[in-house]
Amino acid sequence: MRSPRSKRWPLRVLAGGEQAQTMVELAIVMPVLLIVLIGVVQFALVYHAKNVAATAAQEGARFAAADGRTVSEGADRARDVLESGLGKKGADFSVTAQGEGETVVVRAEGDYSLIIPWVTGSSIPIAATSEVRKEAFRSGP
């Protein structure tokens, strides 16, 4: 009759083999998971920058279209929104504003640099334009 200790010995060998297999599988899968995770984070950052640029253009156009405001005040407002939403990267964006006729057009554009250093062309161009009709009080008929 075998002792209980000798019955457990083959299980320990198998457990050690499975543990080594798990480590190898983890070593293979982990880099792929990290690359996917970094890609998802990068996509979210670029999407956020695009939304901030669109918001800045809309805010600037609305501000400039208000009665008594100038086009340059609208451009300044758009720059403020870019810098508050994107931090230092927002200062790299350019803002143009035009107030021809009855509308105000504000455009925010710039290159958003990626956090992934090994990707070629490490920046993505982002642009947003907003056109708003100028507010004015007109007398009735």
- Mind listing the pLDDT tens digit for each residue in 5-51? 555 555 455 555 666 788 888 889 999 999 899 989 999 999 999 99
Q: Quote the pLDDT of residue 58.
A: 96
Q: How many helices (H) and strands (E) does the chain have?
A: 2, 3
C-beta atoms surrounding 23 within 10 Å:
10
129's tokens: 């334009």
User: Which tokens go with 93?
Assistant: 């964006």
Beta-bridge partner residues of 123 = 113
Helix, strand, coil proportions of the chain in percent (round to 5)? 60, 20, 20
